[in-house]
């Protein structure tokens, strides 16, 4: 009974460490009360199973239950949850092995004799102390990149192999130590092996974190280059527009004389057509301000110019403040790929058009982005109704669009209207 109290204390500390680790690093999917209830339920299962004294079952179950908790209670991709669960399991297991190896050097029969209470208490206290110290270091190493937690590259899945291998080696050491009485020199070697395994896992973790940071810096540089390119194109287009307007203003006297001549001849229909032609002239259109978001405005102006050059009617209705929460790199990936696909599909059709709208769904945290464009053929060609990459252009950049939608916990819907020959893309993003 008294040993059961030690087990309860151990799992309580491990649950607290998991709570601190996950709460500091990942965006929560559930309320704190819901998370606490799930955590207590999972660790109660773990506590009950631990009474069987099977090391292998305890380690495997600890890994699986941590994975379930991270995946269900936080916004994490499954392979990222798998990676962090394996890291926590490896650190916990090797912390216990370090204390076990050191203790066995001074007391060869340590934790024998029915797992004596004081020995078990000593083992639990110091192993959890090391576990807490290492996870505290990990939290501070990763805390600067909290905003990108859960959005790691799929290469993280391959790194899971390292901590899982370390856990297997550690369990092998423990099994050998419990089966054979090792000389003190080998006890020290086992202890040093556990320390080196722990250090190797931490080093691997730091190297992965370093590469993630460098990838983010590279993406930021690419974004700056994209901004410069968009700004240059925007101001070039603005200068061209101003030049055309100056030419039109210069010729306005001649246009008024022509209208006056038509008026003397009582050609009222021709006067109306003439004025309409002047009013609809692209030289009088306002290209410079399509929305109040500077980055998105530059992107839309650039694509509006492309549409004008391709004789595609372009209309944008971007409501104020609807895209402020989207990071500039995600904004570029999302809208550029959407408009690239739309222009590719609409560019080969006479009298084609593209409409793009953003609006806030009332009483919800969702922003809705809608793109409608002319499209001659239904791009859903396969029998399973999956969108295919074809000459209409849809499919290119689709993975990038889905990645951004997933990052903002949104939803993507696409369909083709056979009656109007238009392709519709509807995206809902959560603020």
Segment 33-62 mean pLDDT:
84
The most confident of the ranges 14-23, 101-110, 210-219, 279-288 is: 14-23
Output the six-digit token pair for 105.
């050097």
Task: Share the mean pLDDT of the chain.
Answer: 76
Architecture label for domain 289-431 = 2-Layer Sandwich (3.30)
**Which residues, 6+ apart, have CB-to-CB distance to 287 below 8 Å?**
237, 238, 241, 301, 304, 305
* Whether pLDDT at 201 is above 80: no
- Please provide residue 288's backbone torsions phi and psi, each rounded to the nearest 5 degrees: -75, -25
Q: Residue 328: name the closest of 187, 244, 240, 216 by CA.
A: 216
C-alpha to C-alpha distance for 339 and 346, rounded to whole angstroms: 10
Identify the pLDDT of residue 385: 47
**Which residues, 6+ apart, have CB-to-CB distance to 55 below 8 Å?**
171, 174, 175
Burial 369-384 (b: 16+ CB within 10 A, else e): bbbbbbbeeebbeeee
The DSSP annotation for 184-215 comes to HHHHHHHHHHHHHHHHHHHHHHHHHHHHHHHH
**Which residues, 6+ apart, have CB-to-CB distance to 136 below 8 Å?**
none
Output the six-digit token pair for 219.
């993406």
Q: pLDDT tens, 379-411?
A: 876 544 455 544 444 455 788 888 889 888 889
The most confident of the ranges 215-219, 222-226, 362-366 is: 362-366
* Whether pLDDT at 311 is above 80: yes
Mean pLDDT is lowest, of 141-155, 163-177, 356-370, for 141-155
* Whether pLDDT at 149 is above 50: no
* Whether pLDDT at 412 is above 80: yes
Residue 370's pLDDT band (cuts 50, 70, 90) = very high
CB 136 within 8 A of CB 204: no
**Which residues, 6+ apart, have CB-to-CB distance to 277 below 8 Å?**
none
C-alpha to C-alpha distance for 293 and 289, rounded to whole angstroms: 9
Residue 146's pLDDT band (cuts 50, 70, 90) = very low
* Whether pLDDT at 51 is above 70: yes
- What's the first-to-final CA gap in the chain, in angstroms? 51
CB-neighbour burial class of residue 199 (10 A; exposed 0-12, middle 13-18, buried 19+): exposed
**Which residues, 6+ apart, have CB-to-CB distance to 276 below 8 Å?**
none
* Whether pLDDT at 182 is above 70: no
Angle subtended at Cα 160 by Cα 155 and Cα 162, rounded to the nearest 5 degrees: 115
Q: pLDDT tens, 158-170?
A: 666 776 777 677 6
* Whether pLDDT at 368 is above 80: yes
Domain extents in the chain = 2-143+152-221, 289-431
Q: What strands, in cross-sheet order, belong to the sheet with 366-374?
A: 313-318, 353-360, 366-374, 422-430, 411-417
Segment 327-347 mean pLDDT:
86
Mean pLDDT is lowest, of 167-176, 304-313, 385-394, for 385-394
Residue 1's pLDDT band (cuts 50, 70, 90) = low
């Amino acid at each position: 009974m008294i040993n059961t109290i030690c087990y309860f204390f151990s799992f309580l500390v491990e649950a607290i460490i998991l709570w601190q680790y996950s709460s500091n690093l990942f965006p929560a999917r559930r309320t704190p009360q819901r998370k606490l209830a799930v955590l207590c339920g999972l660790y109660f299962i773990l506590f009950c199973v631990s009474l069987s004294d099977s090391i292998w079952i305890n380690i495997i179950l600890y890994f699986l239950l941590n994975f379930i908790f991270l995946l269900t209670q936080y916004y994490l991709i499954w392979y990222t949850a798998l990676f962090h669960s394996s890291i926590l399991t490896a650190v916990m297991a090797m912390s216990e092995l370090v204390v076990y190896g050191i203790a066995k050097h001074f007391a060869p029969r340590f934790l024998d004799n029915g797992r004596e209470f004081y020995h078990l208490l000593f083992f639990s206290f110091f192993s959890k102390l090391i576990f807490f110290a290492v996870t505290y270091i990990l939290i501070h190493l990763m805390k600067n990149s909290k905003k990108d937690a859960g959005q790691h590259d799929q290469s993280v899945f391959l790194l899971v192999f390292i901590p899982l291998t370390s856990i297997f080696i550690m369990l092998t050491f423990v099994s050998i130590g419990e089966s054979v009485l090792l000389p003190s020199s080998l006890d020290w070697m086992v202890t040093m092996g556990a320390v080196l395994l722990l250090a190797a896992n931490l080093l691997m973790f730091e190297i992965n974190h370093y590469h993630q940071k460098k990838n983010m810096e590279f993406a930021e540089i690419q974004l700056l280059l994209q901004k410069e390119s968009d700004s240059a194109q925007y101001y070039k287009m603005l200068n061209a527009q101003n030049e055309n307007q100056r030419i039109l203003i210069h010729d306005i006297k001649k246009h008024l004389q022509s209208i006056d001549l038509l008026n003397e001849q009582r050609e009222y229909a021709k006067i109306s057509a003439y004025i309409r032609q002047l009013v609809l002239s692209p030289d009088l259109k306002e290209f410079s301000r399509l929305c109040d978001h500077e980055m998105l405005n530059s992107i839309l102006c650039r694509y509006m110019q492309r549409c004008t050059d391709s004789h595609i009617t372009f209309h944008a209705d971007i409501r104020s403040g609807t895209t402020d929460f989207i990071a500039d790199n995600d904004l570029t990936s999302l809208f550029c790929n959407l408009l690239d696909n739309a222009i590719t599909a609409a560019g080969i059709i006479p009298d084609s058009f593209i409409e793009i709208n953003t609006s806030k769904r009332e009483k919800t945290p969702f922003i809705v982005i809608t793109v409608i464009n002319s499209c001659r053929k239904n791009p859903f060609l396969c029998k399973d109704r999956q969108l295919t990459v074809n000459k209409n252009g849809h499919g290119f950049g689709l993975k990038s669009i889905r990645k951004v939608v997933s990052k903002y916990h949104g939803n993507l819907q696409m369909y083709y209207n056979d009656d109007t020959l238009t392709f519709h893309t509807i995206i809902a993003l959560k603020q």
